[in-house]
């Protein structure tokens, strides 16, 4: 009998993570992060939250600033060795504002 693979589909996990954040469901999002995970967003935001609690606080604060919010990953690709790359578009409307923020950048996720 063939044993079922225990290797997760990292592209599927990437889609799940973005979908959970878009639903503002951080209870579903946080188990995808290792307890000691690091979210290096220093280039764009200037911070590097470390650990699930700090990452959760950052994400909560980030999405709380928007009445409407959506991340759209454009075809994430598994590059091997646990690395996933995705071009991610964000469309969001800040609280109390009628206009939208549009942002598009490359994200690298390292899964261990």
CATH code: domain of residue 56 = 3.10.450.50
The residue-averaged pLDDT of 65-80 equals 93
In a domain, 57, yes or no: yes
In a domain, 17, yes or no: yes
In a domain, 5, yes or no: no
Count of domains for the chain: 1
Name the band, by pLDDT with cuts 50, 70 and 90, for residue 6.
low
Q: Are 84 and 42 in contact (CB under 8 A)?
A: no
Helix (H/G/I), strand (E/B), else coil: 83 = strand
Identify the domain containing residue 83 by its residue range.
10-110
Q: Is the pLDDT of residue 85 over 90?
A: yes
Alpha carbons 42 and 108: distance in angstroms, whole number: 13
Compute how many other C-beta atoms are within 10 angstroms of the C-beta atom of residue 23: 10
Helix (H/G/I), strand (E/B), else coil: 71 = strand
Name the band, by pLDDT with cuts 50, 70 and 90, for residue 5.
low
Provide the 8-state DSSP code for 50. Answer: B
In a domain, 3, yes or no: no
What pLDDT is attached to residue 2?
A: 52
């Amino acid at each position: 009998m063939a044993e079922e693979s225990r290797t997760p589909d990292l592209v599927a996990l990437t889609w799940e993570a973005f979908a959970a954040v878009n639903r503002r469901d951080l209870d579903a999002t946080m188990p995808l992060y290792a307890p000691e995970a690091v979210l290096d967003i220093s280039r764009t935001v200037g911070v590097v939250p470390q650990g699930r609690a700090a990452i959760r606080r950052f994400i909560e604060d980030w999405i709380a600033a928007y009445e409407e919010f959506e991340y759209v990953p454009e075809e994430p690709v598994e590059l091997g060795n646990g690395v996933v790359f995705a071009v991610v578009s964000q469309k969001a409307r800040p609280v109390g504002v009628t206009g939208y923020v549009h942002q598009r950048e490359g994200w690298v996720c390292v899964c261990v």
